[in-house]
Structure formats: structure tokens, C-alpha cells
Amino acid sequence: MKRLIVTGAGGMLGADVTRQFSSNFKVTALTRKELDITDKKAVRQVFKHYRPEIVINCAAFTRVDDCESMKETAFSVNAEGPGILASACRDSGALLVHISTDYVFDGSKKSPWKEDEPKAPLNIYGESKLQGEKRVEARCDNYLIIRTSWLFGLNGPNFITTMLDLSKKRDELSVVNDQEGSPTSTRDLAWGIKMLVMHDLCGVFHCCNSGSCTWFDLCRFVFEKRGIKGVTLKPVPSESFPRPAARPEYSVLDTSRFKKFTGRKMRPWQQAVSEYLSDLEKGATI
């Protein structure tokens, strides 16, 4: 079995990636406490000790609004960290799988974004992630950059859990209806990442559940599925919720390259959300 390291293993995606890969690889899952990817010396020691053949970087500073005021941390974790991992992978010959985001695009068009379309992030988070991609591309040849969007999963708070919590406290909820994206299950994404790795692919790929919706549509779907009736949902524009970081209006990713090269298709977001809700109800854990 190939030796594989997951960084950021304590996060929402990191936990699913660890689980997904454990049946076919010798996985070492490292949380932030066990490996800070911005610590060059610690990264070198980990490479020396575990001699990974594959590294999947799920570590990131993901609090989009906080990135605006914590610019240094955002660039350190989302740009310098991946650069450090890329240099270590280049020197050891390991494959680096790096996860990136739909927020590298500005959301200004109305059809799904292809991998090579112009990047123009609207916020610090997106800019720091874009710089991370650039460092990976510049420092090693053997890499997979996988952009994804609107994640939800069992190992972390996300939009769905936030709305379910709010439904217990309010009779009316306003939800943004002018941002469109593809909600994606971290379980499905972990499977998608495995497909790309197993097919020995490299380069940049988009991987998300299929279909798209607005945050309002997603919330309405969740509440209908859960049978939540006593809460009125109000669709509102983004300007009703002034936030530190601007968000793209349309960040749906084109996944045809994933389909072409793996021969597989990610399922519709509605199916993934339904499965997630039933897992939540059962109290499932990863």
C-alpha cells in the first residue's frame, strides 16, 4: 500500500479524506496540532519520518470573513503552507494533492467556470488560495489542484448546520438569494479526490456535486426535507447582509474535465444533502 499523509486532518474535509483513503492506502492523518504546514522544519521532519508517496493538503484558514482582518494568517496558511508542502514533495518525489476553491473566480459570468478561465478573487481568502495554487504549480511538477465549493460534512459546522440551529431560535429567516454555487458533500468530494488519484492524474480539476442553487434554495430544500414548517424563509440580496468579505455572484464550477478523465460523475447536490440530513438525524459520525 502506498504511504499517504493527510494534513489538516481534523477539519471537515480532512476527516472524510482520511476515512475514504484508509482502505486503499497506508494513511497518516495529521491534525494542525500534529503538523503545522507553515512550519518548514516540522514539514521536513514529517517527510523524513513517514516518507509519504502522496500528500493530501486539506489544511486551510477557511473563515472567509476573518481573512479580511487576518491577512497575514490567511496568506501564511493558504499560500506559504502549500508552497512549503510543494517544495517537500518536489524534493521527495511525492504527489501533492492540494484543495482549492471556487472563490478564486470573480463570479461575473453566468455559465460554469472552467479550470483555465481567468482568476480574479474578490476577497483575501480567494486571493490567498490563488497564491497557494501558484506556489504549488511553480514548485513541483507532480501535483493535483482540486477546486471545490460550498462544502458540508459531518466533521464541522457549515451552512446547513447553521440554518438548522437558527430554525430552532427564529420564526423568520432571511437567506441570500443572489449567490449561486454547487453545494458539495465532503464525503463525495473525498471519493472524487480518490478517483483522480487512482487514475494517476495531475494538473487542475474542478470537483463538486452536480447542479447548482442559491443559499436560499439550499436552505429551503433542507427545511422541506426536514419538515420544518414554523419558520418563514425570506429571499434577500447580499447587500442585506453586509459582511467584511465580498462573495462571487456565480461560482458554479464546470466539472466536465473530471468526468472526461475519470469516467465518473459526481451525483446531484440534492442527493448528497438528503444523505447528509439522514446521517445527521441518525447521529452518524465519520
Ligand X SMILES: NC(=O)c1ccc[n+]([C@@H]2O[C@H](COP(=O)([O-])OP(=O)(O)OC[C@H]3O[C@@H](n4cnc5c(N)ncnc54)[C@H](OP(=O)(O)O)[C@@H]3O)[C@@H](O)[C@H]2O)c1
Site for ligand X, rule CB under 6 A: 7-8, 10-14, 32, 35-38, 58-62, 77, 81, 99, 101-102, 129, 148-151, 156
Task: Give min distance, CB of 168 to ligand X, in A.
Answer: 23
Catalytic residue among 125, 143, 250, 276: 125
Cβ nearer to ligand X, comparing 40 with 231: 40
The C-alpha atoms of residue 160 and residue 277 are separated, in whole angstroms, by 9
Cβ nearer to ligand X, comparing 28 with 149: 149
* In contact, 15 and 38? CB cutoff 8 Å: no
Task: Give min distance, CB of 114 to ligand X, in A.
Answer: 17
Q: What is the dihedral of CA 61, 62, 63, 66, to 10 degrees?
A: 40
Task: Give min distance, CB of 282 to ligand X, in A.
Answer: 21
Question: 110's torsion region: left (phi>0), alpha (psi -120 to 50) or beta?
Answer: alpha
The C-alpha atoms of residue 6 and residue 14 are separated, in whole angstroms, by 7
Cβ nearer to ligand X, comparing 156 with 211: 156
Cβ nearer to ligand X, comparing 232 with 241: 241
* In contact, 81 and 43? CB cutoff 8 Å: no
**125 classed as catalytic:** yes
Task: Give min distance, CB of 178 to ligand X, in A.
Answer: 18
Cβ nearer to ligand X, comparing 263 with 275: 275
Q: What is the CA radius of gyration of the chain?
A: 19
Task: Give min distance, CB of 117 to ligand X, in A.
Answer: 17
Cβ nearer to ligand X, comparing 161 with 231: 161
- The alpha helices in the chain, defined as continuous H runs, are 12-21, 40-50, 64-69, 71-75, 81-92, 124-139, 159-167, 186-198, 215-226, 256-262, 269-282
Cβ within 8 Å of residue 214, ≥6 positions away: 176, 177, 178, 179, 180, 235
Position with the least CB separation from ligand X: 11
Task: Give min distance, CB of 232 to ligand X, in A.
Answer: 26
The C-alpha atoms of residue 175 and residue 212 are separated, in whole angstroms, by 16
The Cα-based distances of 270 to 79, 107, 156, 205 in angstroms read: 33, 22, 19, 22
**CB hemisphere CA count around 129 (13 angstroms):** 30
Q: Which three cell numbers stand for residue 279?
A: 446521517
Q: Supply the residues annotated as catalytic.
A: 125
